[in-house]
Structures are given as structure tokens and as C-alpha cells.
Amino acid sequence: GESVGLHLPTLSVQEGDNSIINCAYSNSASDYFIWYKQESGKGPQFIIDIRSNMDKRQGQRVTVLLNKTVKHLSLQIAATQPGDSAVYFCAEKGGGFKTIFGAGTRLFVKA
């Protein structure tokens, strides 16, 4: 089956700092992108999404940036809080049914 099974990269930030989590996606035909947050022992939760006709989208304390030229997606978290500690997954969708997930990044927030 399709596998995204890699040991997760880790990002450690100080509480109050901004966090940037990066993701490289694989399919140039993908036109919809999503970020998910997964806390320990829970299922992934939707954070924010962006369509390919946009470069940037802002939510509450989060911003997603899309660079289609280099197939790169980033999630910026402003004023990172201890509750932001989790694994963050990017996902892409290309008009078909399948949502393909990246390997994930573990975010540690130091108090």
C-alpha cells in the first residue's frame, strides 16, 4: 500500500516564537492542500486549507503559504503556545478521491 512511513522530523521552538513547518508535495496536478494537527493519542484535526489558485491564506494564528513553482507548502504558527505541540501533516488532493499525506513534522514547544 501507499506508505508515508518515515521517522518524523522534529521542530523545537520557544513558547511565544513563531513556528514554520515545511512540506514538499509530490503531484504538480494537486489543486487542494490541507494542514492537519495530530495530538498524542488523537486523530488528525483539520487546521487550514488552501486551493492552488491562492498563494497565501490566513486563519487564527496560522498562515499557509503555497509555492506551486517548487511544489512547497508551509504552515506558519504565530506566537507558538505549549498547546501547539503536536505532529503536523500536510496533505494534497488532485481532483481524485485520494488525499495523500506527507510524513509529518513533530513540533515541540518549550516553555
Partner 1 sequence: GAGVSQSPSNKVTEKGKDVELRCDPISGHTALYWYRQSLGQGLEFLIYFQGNSAPDKSGLPSDRFSAERTGGSVSTLTIQRTQQEDSAVYLCASSLSAGSSGNTIYFGEGSWLTVV
Chain contacts with partner 1 (rule: CB under 8 A): 1-8, 31-32, 34, 36, 41-46, 49, 51, 89, 93-104
Can you point out the beta strands (E) in the chain? 10-14, 19-24, 32-38, 45-51, 56-58, 62-67, 72-77, 86-93, 99-101, 105-110
* Nearest to partner 1 of 12, 14 (CB atom): 12
Q: How far is the CB of 45 from partner 1 (least distance, A)?
A: 7
CB of 59 to partner 1, least distance (A): 13
Q: Which is nearer to partner 1, 54 or 79 (CB)?
A: 54
> C-beta of 102: minimal distance to partner 1 in Å?
7
Cβ nearer to partner 1, comparing 43 with 83: 43
Which residues make Cβ contacts (< 8 Å) with residue 34, sequence separation at least 6? 46, 47, 48, 49, 50, 90, 91, 92, 93, 99
